[in-house]
């Protein structure tokens, strides 16, 4: 007999249709799986056999052929297990279903339990778009799948529960909708920061305009503390944005983030990370840290300790907001619209310019240290701020700083101005040259100041435009329609090449 069930294969952030066909024929007992199945899919043979037997069913001693159609597209993942097992029971006559079976995903343990799988959210979106009204998933994937509206999600504990549900002997309850998380209660507060007024101001400007930020200062001055509190001043993600971010985490099988969390992602990879870990890659390309930080922050602590090759691969995603991973078999594109926040020491020992601790580095060591970061990458970082040691009186006074909620209100007001001006929720950092000429032209004094800076410091065209973008954001924070000389002056202060 032959059984057919609908399934899907993950391709980037989307899913494409796959038909799971199970055929039993005469001949010596054998198992054959065709259809360009990867190792994890082929190993379903042993998982399904043990799960079927331990669930109390008979494993047919026939020639078993499992086909994953279309046969010219690679299939990866363990979510085909449940479909193969149900197809085997249908083909052997041990399970009879009225009508077409629902859409099902799940990995089977040897005792028949349902284990969670990755990519449930794009699979659920695919099932809904294909007209399915019911989706059977492992219990640990239910909170993720229930996000998709218009789809009844049925969590099942085991293969036996699925069989009873499909045969009508029992009815599994549907999962309830999850609560939408919109607060930022788990994000550290800016009130914890003592002093560092210029760095706090740079954080606010960067958050308001989605500008990339680099903080340079000795160890222990609060660079990492500032970066980790930046998510608390960013506007919460909208529903569509949350779904977009959740799809990436679902593809990665990363359950560290709530599927409907409104807090922008914050990723902080270690400086020993490879370029494949940062950008993404593998035999079957998976998203990297730049994609997991989509619509959020990518924090690179100890920036100069990252390998130069790793840093250089960031240049294109910083400009394009997406990354294309090409392999011999296929090329996949993932979103990577992240905001870069980085921190580094001024020299190898970290104490260059420190008011109380001497620096023991030679000029050659300092030059080599700073040359690890290329000029083109630095040009793409709008704000480059020095973070000095905290004054002893400010530290011991224990006076709390301005809380994140107050800063967030100003950031949200500036974002609203930019959204009305540019549309589609865009920010000043993404303005084109034509939009700069239309919306960010400085006044006469500001133009003269900018021309003088160009002449004195030899700024590139990219740096020139980024200074204007930062000045436009400063003006928006102050509610000014015109970019003035004071805004240009402050924007120039946040550039190492104008120091």
What are the tens digits of pLDDT across the range 109-161?
999 999 999 999 999 999 999 999 999 999 999 999 999 999 999 999 999 99
Q: What is the mean pLDDT of the chain?
A: 92
Q: What is 431-499's CATH number, 1.10.357, 1.10.10, 3.40.50, 1.10.8?
A: 1.10.8
Cis status of the peptide bond prior to 70, with omega within 30 of 0: yes
Q: What's the token pair of residue 96?
A: 């009879």
The reported pLDDT for the residue numbered 498 is 59
Q: What's the token pair of residue 370?
A: 């700073």
Stretch among 119-123, 252-256, 337-341, 461-465 having the lowest mean pLDDT? 252-256
Higher pLDDT pick, 128 / 328: 128
The reported pLDDT for the residue numbered 448 is 94
- The correct answer on CATH 3.30.230.10 for the domain covering 2-167 is yes
Stretch among 20-29, 64-73, 127-136, 178-187 having the lowest mean pLDDT? 178-187
Residue 357 reports pLDDT greater than 80:
yes
Q: What is the C-alpha separation between 291 and 230, in angstroms, rounded? A: 19
Q: What is the CATH number of domain 190-404?
A: 3.40.50.300
Query: Minimal CA–CA distance to 114: which of 42, 55, 58?
Result: 55
3-state secondary structure of 15: strand
Residue 273 reports pLDDT greater than 80:
yes
CATH code 3.30.230.10 region(s) in the chain: 2-167
Residue 180 reports pLDDT greater than 60:
no
Output DSSP code: residue 188.
P
The reported pLDDT for the residue numbered 185 is 58
The whole-model pTM stands at 0.91
Number of helices and strands in the chain (H, E): 21, 18
CATH code 3.40.50.300 region(s) in the chain: 190-404
The reported pLDDT for the residue numbered 181 is 56
Higher pLDDT pick, 100 / 55: 55
54 touches 110 (CB < 8 A): yes
The reported pLDDT for the residue numbered 225 is 93
The reported pLDDT for the residue numbered 344 is 96
Q: Where are the alpha helices (DSSP H) in 210-263?
A: 223-228, 239-252
Stretch among 233-237, 326-330, 436-440 having the lowest mean pLDDT? 326-330
Phi, psi dihedral angles at 94 (to 5 degrees): -85, -10
Query: Minimal CA–CA distance to 401: which of 191, 200, 233?
Result: 191
The reported pLDDT for the residue numbered 496 is 75
Residue 21 reports pLDDT greater than 80:
yes
The reported pLDDT for the residue numbered 282 is 79
Q: Environment class of residue 29 by beta-carbon count within 10 Å: exposed (0-12), middle (13-18) or buried (19+)?
A: exposed
142 touches 255 (CB < 8 A): no
Q: For residue 359, what pLDDT band results from cuts at 50, 70 and 90?
A: very high
The reported pLDDT for the residue numbered 398 is 66
Report the b/e string of 449-477 with b at 16+ CB within 10 A: bbeebbeeeebeeebebbbbbbbbbbbbb
Residue 446: partners with Cβ closer than 8 Å, 6 or more residues away: 471, 483, 484, 485, 487, 488
Phi, psi dihedral angles at 4 (to 5 degrees): -125, 135
CATH code 1.10.8 region(s) in the chain: 431-499
Q: What is the C-alpha separation between 80 and 310, in angstroms, rounded? A: 35
Residue 190 reports pLDDT greater than 80:
yes
pLDDT, tens digit, 9 for 90 and up, residues 384-439? 999 998 877 766 776 777 899 999 999 999 999 999 999 888 999 999 999 999 99
Q: What is the C-alpha separation between 143 and 98, in angstroms, rounded? A: 28
């Amino acid at each position: 007999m032959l059984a057919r069930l609908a399934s899907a294969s993950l391709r980037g952030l989307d899913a494409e249709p796959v038909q799971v066909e199970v055929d039993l024929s005469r001949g010596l007992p054998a198992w054959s799986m065709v259809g360009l199945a990867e190792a994890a899919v082929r190993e379903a043979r042993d998982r399904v056999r043990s799960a079927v037997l331990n669930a109390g069913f008979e494993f047919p001693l026939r020639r078993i052929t499992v086909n994953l159609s279309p046969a010219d597209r690679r299939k990866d993942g363990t979510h085909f297990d449940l479909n193969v097992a149900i197809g085997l029971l249908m083909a052997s006559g041990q399970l009879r279903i009225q009508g077409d079976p629902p859409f099902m995903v799940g990995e089977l343990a040897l005792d028949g339990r349902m284990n969670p799988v990755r990519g449930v959210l794009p699979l659920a979106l695919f099932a809904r778009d294909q007209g399915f009204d019911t989706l059977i998933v492992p219990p640990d994937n239910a909170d993720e799948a229930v996000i998709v509206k218009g789809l009844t999600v049925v969590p099942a504990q085991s293969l036996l529960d699925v069989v009873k549900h499909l045969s009508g002997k029992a009815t599994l309850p549907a999962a309830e909708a999850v609560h939408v998380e919109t607060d930022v209660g788990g994000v550290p507060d800016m009130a914890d920061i003592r002093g560092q007024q210029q760095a706090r101001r740079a954080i606010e400007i960067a958050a308001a305009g989605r500008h990339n930020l680099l903080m340079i200062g000795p160890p222990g001055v609060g660079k990492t503390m500032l970066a980790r509190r930046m998510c608390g001043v960013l506007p919460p993600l909208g529903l569509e944005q949350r779904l977009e971010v959740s799809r990436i985490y679902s593809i990665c099988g990363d359950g560290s983030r709530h599927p409907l969390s409104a807090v922008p992602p914050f990723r902080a990879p270690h400086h020993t990370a490879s370029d494949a870990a940062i950008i993404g890659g593998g035999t079957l390309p998976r998203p990297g840290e730049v994609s997991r930080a989509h619509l959020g922050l990518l924090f690179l602590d100890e920036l100069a300790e990252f390998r130069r090759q790793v840093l250089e691969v960031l240049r294109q995603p910083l400009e394009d907001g997406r990354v294309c991973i090409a392999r011999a078999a296929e090329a996949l594109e993932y979103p990577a619209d992240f905001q870069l926040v980085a921190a580094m020491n001024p020299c190898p020992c970290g104490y260059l310019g420190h008011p109380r601790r001497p620096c023991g580095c030679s000029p050659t060591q300092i030059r080599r240290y700073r040359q690890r970061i290329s000029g083109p990458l630095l040009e793409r970082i709008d704000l480059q701020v020095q973070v000095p040691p905290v004054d002893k009186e400010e530290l011991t006074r224990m006076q709390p700083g301005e809380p994140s909620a107050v800063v967030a209100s100003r950031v949200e007001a500036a974002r609203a101005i930019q959204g009305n001006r540019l549309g589609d929720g865009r920010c000043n950092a993404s303005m084109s040259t034509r939009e700069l000429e239309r919306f960010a032209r400085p006044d006469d004094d500001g133009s003269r100041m900018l021309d003088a800076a160009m002449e004195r410091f030899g700024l590139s065209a990219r740096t020139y435009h980024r200074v204007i973008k930062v000045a436009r954001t400063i003006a928006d924070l102050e509610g000014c329609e015109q970019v003035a000389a004071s805004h240009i002056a402050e924007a120039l202060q946040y550039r190492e090449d104008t120091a």
